Chains A and B, each alone.
Chain A
Amino acid sequence: MRYAMAIDTLKCVGCSDCVVACQMENDVPIGFCRDWVTETVDGSYPNVEIELRSERCNHCDNSPCVRCCPTGASHIEDGGIVLVTHNKCIGCGACIQACPYDARYSHPEGYVDKCTFCIHRVRKGENPACVAVCPTKCMYFGDLEDPNSEITNVLKNRKFKSLAPEAGTNPQIFYLI
């Protein structure tokens, strides 16, 4: 099993519904977020191109945050989901330094927190909260090792990219372009 996410940048309108859904679902403290939306503008008027991306932890295959964790609090769950065990985390900040995507933050309670791919929902067979609420249905979540899953098909037929692959992390969030 290899969970991954594909996000269609051509369908995304940047409404930030995914961000709010995640904050509600996961009780993210005010002022923090596990996912966020960026807008990249290329060119100048009248030749302007805008790319909207809903970003979050890339659940990397070669995850530098897991490698540098001194206690093993950051670990990889079944399906490649990168998680933090709160009562093993000492809050040293090494994983925050190690993440090229700045996807982790220090929770006000002390431990480090991040996107979990809503593992509590995924285990029940549901989609992560951000995927479930997306009004344009621009996000696909699923198992890359299942040849019949929607995400496998969409990645087979569309052009896509991942973020900063040169960082050597082998990220598992794919942006359809």
Chain B
Amino acid sequence: MKEELFVSGRHIPNIDPYLNIWHWQIPLYLFLGGLAAGILFFAALFTIMGKENEMPAAVKKAPVIAPIALILGLLALFLDLKHKLFFWQLYTTIRIESPMSWGAWVLMAITPMSMLWVASYMKELVQGWDWKYKWLNAFETFIIKYRIWMAWIIIVLSVILGIYTGILLSAFNARPLWNTSILGPLFLVSGMSTGAATILIMSKSKEERRTMSWIDLLLIVVELFFITHLFMGMKAGSQVQIDAASLFLGGQFTVSFWVFVVFLGLIFPAIMEVLERIGYHIPVVVPVVLILLGGLMFRFIMVEAGQLTRYLY
């Protein structure tokens, strides 16, 4: 028998008896960041492939969501800070070893880029849009001319942003559930899947919907594979990682994870997309909403469960 207790009566808020220093702000931001990364990735990808006219929702309409999601995400991040007035210290240095540092810089770059992207399509999105000032019109001509360059920059930044939402967590070796390199790719794929789902619901063209539901289906399969991989790696890991996996394999997160994230958030919408494909009529809103809720829940569960896992000594 082994029993351990604090003789000195330690009970620090948000740390004892278990860590709970990150609340709703971080998972919400991880979701919004992943969503924006997914949307921007597809917008840039189809532009580079020269398919602006075949994929109007992906290239022109859905990117409107991206800057909104990024700004809300940044707001959530700001709310998470406990020494708020010093937030500008983030932008006085670049620390390569700290994912949060280069994540902050990537956000600083991709948020204005996403706004420029939307601005360059403003006239096509809103009938009779007028920039009012001459210099703004001149600027619009300039960004439209260099749109392909913006696409190349955005595709790189969006992949970094998507992976970063996972690496932010995986860099903490003190939290065994997060400390796995599969988390970066897993969060990237999950973010892209939520992005693809958003494009799917905004699209009015049948062809575009077909392409996007294909892509989404593929991403869901990859995500399921990564989740399997995550738990295989944990089960084959050290004791702390075995304990971390057991939170999901019989522990307190078993139902919420496997029922709501894996089944309702991934497998069920995938089945519906397949049914739609073979001819049944399914309202597109159902799989899309399930995918988005599943993605949000996945991040909430990962952030909360990860904080429960720790080294024991």
Are B3 and A94 in contact, CB atoms less than 8 angstroms apart? no
Docked complex: B190-247 residues within 8 A CB-CB of A = 238
B297: min CB distance to chain A, Å: 21
**What's the Cα separation between A98 and B86 when bound, in Å?**
21
Docked complex: B1-45 residues within 8 A CB-CB of A = 1-16, 19, 21-22
Are B6 and A40 in contact, CB atoms less than 8 angstroms apart? no
Are B10 and A36 in contact, CB atoms less than 8 angstroms apart? yes
Determine the chain B residues whose CB is within 8 A of the CB of A88 once the complex forms: 86, 89
**What's the Cα separation between A96 and B100 when bound, in Å?**
13
- Whether a CB of chain B sits under 8 angstroms from the CB of A68 is yes
Are B84 and A167 in contact, CB atoms less than 8 angstroms apart? no
Provide the main secondary structure of the chain A interface.
loop
Are A105 and B15 in contact, CB atoms less than 8 angstroms apart? yes
B229: min CB distance to chain A, Å: 23
- Whether a CB of chain B sits under 8 angstroms from the CB of A90 is yes
**How many residues on A have C-beta within 8 angstroms of the other chain's C-beta atoms?**
48
Determine the chain B residues whose CB is within 8 A of the CB of A52 once the complex forms: 7
Are B21 and A93 in contact, CB atoms less than 8 angstroms apart? yes
Among B60-68, B143-151, B171-179, the stretch that binds chain A is B171-179
Are B2 and A42 in contact, CB atoms less than 8 angstroms apart? yes
- Whether a CB of chain B sits under 8 angstroms from the CB of A164 is yes
Q: Which chain A residue has the least Cβ–Cβ distance from B22?
A: A93
- Whether a CB of chain A sits under 8 angstroms from the CB of B134 is no
A38: min CB distance to chain B, Å: 6
- Whether a CB of chain A sits under 8 angstroms from the CB of B127 is no
**What's the Cα separation between A40 and B7 when bound, in Å?**
10
Are B6 and A37 in contact, CB atoms less than 8 angstroms apart? yes
- Whether a CB of chain A sits under 8 angstroms from the CB of B99 is yes
Q: Which of B8, B87, B172 contacts A16 (CB 8 A)?
A: B8
Are B311 and A67 in contact, CB atoms less than 8 angstroms apart? no
Determine the chain A residues whose CB is within 8 A of the CB of B104 once the complex forms: 70
**What's the Cα separation between A109 and B84 when bound, in Å?**
10
User: Which residue numbers of B lie inside 8 Å of A, CB to CB?
Assistant: 1-16, 19, 21-22, 80-84, 86-87, 89-90, 92-93, 95, 97-101, 104, 171-175, 238, 307, 310-313
Q: Would you mind naming 14 contact pairs between A and B with Cβ atoms under 8 Å apart?
A: A14-B7, A31-B12, A33-B8, A37-B6, A41-B2, A87-B86, A94-B172, A96-B15, A97-B22, A97-B307, A98-B172, A106-B82, A110-B82, A164-B312
